Chain A
């Protein structure tokens, strides 16, 4: 009897021990977390792979950009129509007149500890990788000044050894929360930039997103996007670089939906020219409004935060626009003449394709409009040194600072141009019952601008025996 009790007690203790070990995957792998070098002891190769990835380099091969000319491109060496450019805005505390920190730089969302990514891999660069930002639940970091005066990202628990040791052992593949902390916060506010990446996806219901819903398939971002060697699948339609050249992410891969996913034949006929997103994401920004227009020529002061910003027009529950896309994009790159669209606006990221291009399909897009400075005489778009602008609202000086930093041009003269960027909408797939119906497109008041897409009119009108639907 005594042995039985001891055995049961020992078994229970063992189970408790196992439960504790299971709770944190790296519970028994190291004692003290000493920064990235602790991770490198076992994961040197993974770190070397990650060093070359888009998430670290912020650039990559760009076969999807028609004017890349073989260059590696990404947010580090291009610009956008939101916060414009990380050059000159990388790291540091920007304080308002009250002394409150209003910005900490673009590296807030870089998977590094503060140093800019370098071309050459060395020990210092590998130790700059912040493994925990994507892999440790409960890990948070903040900006601190080193003794030498340089800024660095450091765990907020850096003074709490026990706490830091605990969170640094909670290692897993990236969860939705880990990815969305950066990807839904980009552009200056929740869901401002992408429109279809709301923080709500951390805990969403099926009616919001059938794939990621906690009560549905509960898929993580990495369920679709994880590639090998820390490379990520998919570049949307408006990212310049790609982690896996030659690989495009698609719903119709054999293990998912295939090319004929519908029970109804007429719907399957659509899939050769219509991407799934067109019908299955009827709207985006359903919870948090998204930035649809950012006019950098207008300065807006927020008295509550004591911070200056561009004039931003937010919209909620936005219907996507549709355009042809063949997998390639024309990008407005720094130091290249402004690429004018037929309506006179400058195309920042314009999907390529047409009705007559058999590789093209219709895709759903967020159409972001902007207004950016154009360098007189050169016809180049100038980004803005936003870290200067946020605190004092000196717009002209912020533009000139950027012209000097990026183009080496002093006392730049500039005008303002309207811009357009098409951003593929891929997340927030709703249940089939909510998808678009035939008449949402095939009716006089339908969503589709047939003429704009290269048709004489609704092609259904020309089918033999078709009846007027007016």
Chain B
């Protein structure tokens, strides 16, 4: 009986953790985009104005697969002076990628990230 109770407790706690992680995941996509992408790609930016709804989902997938690393290799964050690729972890880049795809122009809810 104790073993069953323990198992239920573990399952409930892991469920709570998973739910918490899922919402943090969604939130951090926008936050990461704002903090790391929007700083150079805001309205009227000389680097081009981009938001998730600038592209369709297929274009974002292609962009992160083919172009992102190539075009952002030498990018330095304006405030910290640190290279972008050292500022973001590969996991964080994945989160941003998901945020862009989920909010793309042909998604159910296109995002402007404003």
A residues whose Cβ falls under 8 Å from a Cβ of B: 137-140, 156-157, 159-160, 162-163, 166-167, 177
Set of chain B residues within 8 Å of A157, measured between Cβ atoms: 56, 105
Interface range for B: 10 to 19
With the chains together, A156 CA to B105 CA distance in Å?
A: 7
- Provide a sorted-by-A list of 13 A–B residue pairs whose CB atoms are within 8 angstroms: A137-B106, A138-B107, A140-B53, A140-B110, A156-B53, A156-B105, A159-B54, A160-B54, A160-B55, A162-B59, A166-B106, A167-B56, A167-B106
Which chain B residues numbered 69 to 114 have a C-beta less than 8 Å away from chain A?
105-108, 110
Residues of B within 8 Å of A139, CB to CB, are: 106
Whether A140 touches B59, Cβ cut-off 8 Å, given contacts A156-B53, A156-B110, A160-B54, is no
Which residue of the partner chain A has the closest CB to B114? A100
CB distance A163 to B106 under 8 Å? yes
Nearest A residue to B59 via CB reads: A163
Q: Which residues of A contact B56 (CB under 8 A)?
A: 138, 157, 160, 163, 166-167
Q: Is the CB of A166 within 8 A of B58?
A: yes
By a CB distance below 8 angstroms, the chain A residues around B54 are 159-160
Separation of A138 and B110 alpha carbons in the complex (Å): 10
CA distance A63 to B110 in the complex (A): 41
Q: Which residues of chain A are near B55, meaning CB under 8 Å?
A: 160, 163
Cα A157 to Cα B55 with chains together (Å): 7
Known interface pairs A140-B53, A160-B105, A166-B106; 10 further A-B residue pairs with C-beta atoms within 8 A, sorted by A's residue number: A137-B106, A138-B106, A138-B107, A156-B53, A156-B105, A160-B54, A160-B56, A160-B59, A163-B55, A167-B56
Question: Nearest-CB distance from B58 to chain A (Å)?
Answer: 7
Q: Which residue of B lies closest to A137 (CB)?
A: B106
Whole-angstrom distance between the Cβ of B56 and the nearest chain A Cβ: 4
In the complex, A385 Cα to B25 Cα: how many Å?
42
Q: Which residues of B contact A167 (CB under 8 A)?
A: 56, 105-106
Q: In the assembled complex, which residues on chain A have CB atoms less than 8 Å from the CB atom of B107? A: 138
A85 → B minimal CB distance (Å):
29
A-contact 0/1 string along B41-83, CB 8 Å cutoff:
0000000000001111011000000000000000000000000
Distance (Å) between the CB of B14 and the closest chain A CB?
A: 26
A139 and B107 alpha carbons, distance in the complex (Å): 9
A163 vs B106: C-alpha distance when bound (angstroms): 9
List the B residue with the shortest CB-CB distance to A138.
B106
Contacts of B58 on A, CB cut-off 8 Å? Answer: 166
Cα–Cα, bound, A162→B56 (Å): 9
What is the CB-to-nearest-CB distance from A93 to chain B, in angstroms, rounded to a whole number? 14
Determine how close the nearest CB of chain B comes to the CB of A145; give it in whole angstroms: 15
- B60: nearest residue on chain A (CB-CB)? A163
Q: How far is the CA of A163 from the CA of B59 in the complex (A)?
A: 7
Given A156-B53, A156-B110: A138 in contact with B59 (beta carbons within 8 A): no
Which residue of the partner chain B has the closest CB to A202? B108
| A26: min CB distance to chain B, Å | 15
Q: Report the minimum CB–CB distance from B108 to chain A (whole Å).
A: 7
Most interface-central of B58, B106, B107, B110 (chain A CB within 10 A): B106
Cα distance A138–B107 when bound, in Å? 6
